[in-house]
Amino acid sequence: MPSVRVFALAKKLGLRSEALVAALEQVGVTGVTVASSIDEATAQAVVELLAEQAAHAREEAEAKAAREAAAVQAAAEKKPAEVTAGEPEEWEEAAEEERRLAARRGPVEVVGIAELERHIRELQQAETAPRQEAGMVTLAQEARRRRGERPATAVEAPPIVAVLGHVDHGKTTLLDTLRHTAVAASEHGGITQHIGASEIEHRGKRIVFIDTPGHKAFTAMRARGAQVTDFVVLVVAANDGVMPQTVEAINHARAANVPIIVAINKIDLPDADPTRVKQQLLEHQIVPEEWGGHEIVVEISALTGQGLDNLLDTILLLAEVEELWVDPAAEFTGVVIESSLDPAQGALATVLVRSGKIAVGDVVVAGAAYGRVRRLRDWRGKSIKEMEAGRPVEIVGLSAVPEAGEIVRAVASPKEARQRAEEYAEQARQRELRGVAEVQLHELYRGLHTGEVKTLNLLLKADVSGTLQALESSLQQLSDSMPEVDINIVAAGIGDITESDITLAAASQAIVIGYNVLADDHVLRVAADDRVEIRLYNVIYQILEDIERAAAGLLEPVYEEQFVGRATVLQLFRISRLGVVAGCRVTDGRMQRGARIEVKRRGETVYEGKLTSLRHLKDDVASVEAPNECGLLVADWRGWEEGDVVEAYAQVEVERKATAGASAA
């Protein structure tokens, strides 16, 4: 029996896809999505239901119009009991105006559900317009993809697609085959080279592929407020199946709330087993559409080209469903998706144009980088004069290399661009100096009582799958029992905590909970830089107890003072407005602003207090590590001498230990 996609039928009927899904539920067809297929009998049934609803709506509208017309006629025939000399004319004019309005309205004719849908959209647009005019749309939101109702100047936009998956599963070969370039041949060790973005045309429509080096970069852009991609193509090798990086990619795509299209690659190999791959995906809540789920799974061979047309058709299908658009008449905004430093050309930035257009000569700012655009190049390297919305372009002319995910916008003059860039750099410096975690468990209750925090995002890592499942179940039960906190597990996995876990936690504002696992020094440094809290446990009930105490405002961090570094005074500088600055070389560990210091001279302590200020070259910094030089300043002491030894101590939060006699749950 012939079948039809839900979104295609909706388009034919002039409906929004969501309205058709709701109508299907009324006829008993549940669990469908806009990309699902329905048979001819079901399609006929839902069309008949919609026709009945339209007829009923028409009857109600006509009856209401008749009642309004009768009321107007009655009002026109009624004469006021007492009027002054001037009132009859005014009253007659008002009645005549009401008759003209009623005649203009006439009997309301409803031509179908499409008209009702259009009316609803107009109401929704009218409701949201004041909020937009009030300036509630932030710069980051402006750079995100906008869906749904569009202004009159909007045009259809190409979908932005990121290709993720496990190493050696064929991501680069897939992109290479799609764009017919020799990217794969130029790689070394199987690591994707940074080329930014590329475009292909399929059936007369454009698709933009973001060449991210992996799910880490994908999530790093999201962490900076840039929701760049519309869809993720998850590449899984048909012979290898689901691997650790496959699971990580799934977690990162889900955390970003980006639809996933699964591409089972290498089906041309003798040991390919697509069915086994689909079964493995079920374990990670990826249910193929053919098995009653929502994810579209396409079997391909990136090497031979088999199934690639089907993959591209699927991307364009979902793009139609999402109704993607851009506004070329709006002010220019873009997102940095790749950047580098070229010895001859200076800073280069590949930017995805989100709205408006960018042209040679425009003055732009991207985070702490700014400048006048000297040259623009399309994805093939061809110089162009301007680039429209929805496409990637390489910019030459920035003062520095911006980070991926930075929002790019145009300004009126180089002076304004420099001022905005300096303001951004100062804000970033202040954030670095503060160096505090953005999400900490022991501060959860503060947010709860002020209404700032309602959801607690957790990323779980455990030593074995059985323990992980028990921990997830216990946390879900705890969440159900605590109306104050909604516990959301953004990802869960087996093994030690990795840098990728920290990246995902930073983007999701999540706390990392580890059970019987470790985090090495590199991971701890990354977590500190990204202000992500890691909490390690070896008893499950303590995890639950800490979250309960946090919700009740009872959990206090455990601190102990630890030695952090040592420095030797080399030279003294007397500055009138500051006092005496001790020029030092850090010989062990690091000097840390705000730390408690002890100044020792010939083995005796001559001063003990707080390190007020720490400078490296001309910059005020949070810490300086050995063997660098720095300047030390304390507010209440000037008795420095050359040769003094400075020892620094800091309060460090320590891991909470299990209570005596406790055992793992």
The SS3 of residue 180 is: coil
Tens digit of each residue's pLDDT (9 = 90 or more) over 214-232? 555 566 666 555 578 899 9
Report the C-alpha gap between 624 and 630 in whole angstroms: 7
The SS3 of residue 607 is: strand
pLDDT band per the 50, 70, 90 thresholds, residue 533: confident
One-letter amino acid of 239: N
Report the C-alpha gap between 213 and 158 in whole angstroms: 21
Task: Name the DSSP class of 35.
Answer: T
User: Could you tell me which residues come within 8 angstroms of residue 661 by beta carbon, excluding any fewer than 6 positions away?
Assistant: none
Give the pairing of strands 613-616 and 629-633.
Answer: antiparallel
pLDDT, residue 180, reads 73
pLDDT band per the 50, 70, 90 thresholds, residue 188: very low
Q: Where are the alpha helices (DSSP H) in 134-273?
A: 139-143, 171-179, 215-223, 244-255
Task: Name the DSSP class of 186.
Answer: G
Q: What is the mean pLDDT of residues 57-86?
A: 63
Residue 70, pLDDT above cutoff 80: no
Report the C-alpha gap between 25 and 8 in whole angstroms: 17
pLDDT, residue 222, reads 61
Tens digit of each residue's pLDDT (9 = 90 or more) over 609-618? 999 889 888 7
The SS3 of residue 226 is: coil
* Fold agreement (155-326, 333-412): no
Q: How many CB atoms lie within 10 A of CB 127?
A: 9
Q: What is the mean pLDDT of residues 319-335?
A: 90
Residue 579, pLDDT above cutoff 70: yes
CATH code reported for the domain at 441-557:
3.40.50.10050
Q: What is the mean pLDDT of residues 488-510?
A: 87
pLDDT, residue 182, reads 37
The ranges assigned to domains in the chain are 3-105, 155-326, 333-412, 441-557, 560-653
One-letter amino acid of 526: V
Q: What is the mean pLDDT of residues 540-556?
A: 70
* Fold held by 333-412: Elongation Factor Tu (Ef-tu); domain 3 (2.40.30)
One-letter amino acid of 432: E
Report the C-alpha gap between 171 and 249 in whole angstroms: 12
pLDDT, residue 80, reads 47
598: its two tokens: 């002890």
Tens digit of each residue's pLDDT (9 = 90 or more) over 93-105? 545 544 554 444 3
Residue 331, pLDDT above cutoff 80: yes
Q: What is the mean pLDDT of residues 562-570?
A: 93
Higher-confidence residue of 20 and 632: namely 632
Average pLDDT value for the chain: 78
Instruction: Name the architecture of domain 155-326.
Output: 3-Layer(aba) Sandwich (3.40)
Tens digit of each residue's pLDDT (9 = 90 or more) over 252-275? 888 778 899 999 999 999 999 999
- As to burial, measured by CB atoms within 10 angstroms (0-12 exposed, 13-18 middle, 19+ buried), residue 337 is buried
User: For residue 288, is the peptide bond before it cis, meaning its omega torsion is within 30 degrees of 0?
Assistant: no
Q: Choose the most confident range, by mean pLDDT, from 282-291, 408-417, 421-430.
A: 408-417
The SS3 of residue 280 is: helix
Task: Report domain 560-653's class.
Answer: mainly beta
